[in-house]
Amino acid sequence: MADGGGRFAAGGADRLGNLVCGHRGPREIPQDQALFNDGTVREVERAEAAYERAIDKLDAKARPQLENAATPLMANYREKLSVLDSAIADLKSQAGINPANGHLRRELLAMYQEKQDTLKEVLEAKQ
């Protein structure tokens, strides 16, 4: 899928920059913002676990290609995944401190989705 890979290579730096700039670390959440209740937190935790399982499967398939990054495209993907891993770890840590914070949980789910999409792109670029 050269077209998809070409789009990433051309816009990879911009997308990676937006991803890095979009994640600025801890943020103050206004007290009046709705927080998740216990049932919602459990539901979100199940969704996070499902993402983690899916990502682990994709990662196992994509890892050899990423480790042998013979092209600049694969090197870009590896760097993007590293940034995503860092953002996910930071958000997981923050969510562990305040599990009912809906904003943090939505950001975390968005990072999981982005990582899953990126791993799928890596696998498609192989073909």
Secondary structure (DSSP) of 45-99: HHHHHHHHHHHHHHHHHHHHHHHT--SHHHHHHHHHHHHHHHHHHHHHHHHHH-T
Most confident range (mean pLDDT) of 56-60, 93-97, 102-106 is: 56-60
Q: What is the pTM of this model?
A: 0.69
Cβ pair 4, 125 in contact under 8 A: yes
Selected residue with higher pLDDT from 32 and 116: 116
* pLDDT one-digit tens code per residue, 8-57: 333 443 443 444 444 444 444 443 345 677 778 788 888 899 999 999 99
Residue appearing with tokens 């911009």: 14
Task: Determine the 3-state secondary structure of 126 from DSSP.
Answer: helix
Name the token pair of 107: 């950001």
Do the beta carbons of residue 15 and residue 80 sit within 8 Å? Answer: yes
pLDDT at res. 99 = 84
Nearest one of 25, 5, 18, 16 to 73, comparing CA atoms: 5
One-letter amino acid identity for 57? K
